[in-house]
């Protein structure tokens, strides 16, 4: 009898270990996929921005340099291939959203399709368009890119990098609402951003509420030819946190 019990316990231990290993592998795979999708989106955004800047510079100076000619002579072969793969395969995001205090960096695509939310964040249809006055609604998964919002603080800086400018926002409020409460996405007279994700962050199953972060624009910096931000911009943005 004792032998049978020990054998049964051993089988349970093996099954539990196998299940645990599978769960860890699944989690690691999902984390890798999210990171890869994010990096590809940002690479595509950077490529499109650089190309637009080159076209603008060539037009302004009368240069004969082709707009799509990029000097890759000092790049590693791996970096060249990753650049080309990203430019071919990935839809160019509208912008890249960053919250430095949370180490958040995520591409923002047009629309909140499952594909877009799996590889980044998405602009919510019906809200202001990025770069225009009004309330821009941006959504992402709470078990993915927007999970770090659990640590957000009033006063944190939010940066929205577009092709020709970087807009700086300051987070002014957070609130938890029911999914049916769309008042948080109502238009505003000034430039603002509303981040939306499900809540609670670690809820098992379909989360019943929504976590809302509201930010207002505090400055607007044009990106000069060459793609470099003006010196000292980051210091001015961070000052007063």
Instruction: Identify whether 200 is preceded by a cis peptide bond (ω within 30 of 0).
Output: yes
Q: What's the start-to-end Cα distance of the chain, in Å?
A: 68
Annotated catalytic residue within 191, 198, 214, 220: 198
191 labelled catalytic: no
Euclidean distance between CA atoms 26 and 28, whole angstroms: 6
CB of 135 closer than 8 Å to CB of 127: yes
Residue burial 57-89, b: 16+ Cβ < 10 Å; e: rest? eeeeeeeeeebeeeeeeeeeeeeeeebeebbee
The yes-or-no answer on residue 198 being catalytic is: yes
- Give 128's DSSP letter: P
Which residue is catalytic, options 141, 191, 214, 220? 141
d(CA 98, CA 157): 9
Identify which of 157, 160, 133, 170 has the alpha carbon closest to the alpha carbon of residue 221.
160
Q: Using DSSP, state whether 93 is helix, strand or coil.
A: coil
Q: Would you please indicate which residues are annotated as catalytic (active-site) residues?
A: 141, 198
């Amino acid at each position: 009898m004792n032998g049978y019990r020990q054998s049964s316990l051993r089988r349970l231990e093996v099954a539990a270990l196998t299940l645990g290993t599978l769960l860890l592998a699944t989690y690691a795979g999902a984390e890798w996929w999210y990171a890869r999708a994010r990096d590809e989106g940002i690479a595509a955004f950077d490529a499109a921005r650089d190309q637009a800047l080159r076209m603008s510079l060539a037009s302004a100076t009368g240069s004969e340099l082709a707009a799509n000619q990029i000097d890759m002579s000092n790049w590693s072969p791996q970096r060249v291939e990753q650049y080309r793969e990203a430019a071919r395969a990935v839809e160019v995001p509208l912008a890249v959203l960053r919250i430095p205090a949370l180490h958040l960096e995520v591409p923002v695509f047009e629309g909140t399709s499952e594909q877009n939310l799996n590889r980044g964040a998405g602009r919510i249809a019906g809200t202001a368009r990025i770069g225009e006055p009004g309330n821009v609604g941006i959504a992402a998964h709470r078990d993915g890119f927007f999970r770090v919002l659990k640590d957000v603080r009033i006063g944190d800086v939010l940066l929205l990098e577009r092709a020709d400018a970087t807009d700086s926002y300051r987070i002014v409020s957070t609130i938890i609402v029911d999914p049916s409460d769309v008042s948080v996405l109502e238009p505003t007279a000034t430039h603002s951003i509303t981040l939306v994700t499900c809540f609670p962050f670690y809820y098992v199953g379909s989360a019943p509420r929504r976590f809302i972060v509201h930010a207002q624009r505090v400055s607007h910096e044009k990106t000069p030819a060459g793609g470099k931000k003006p010196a000292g911009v980051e210091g001015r943005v961070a000052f007063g946190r």
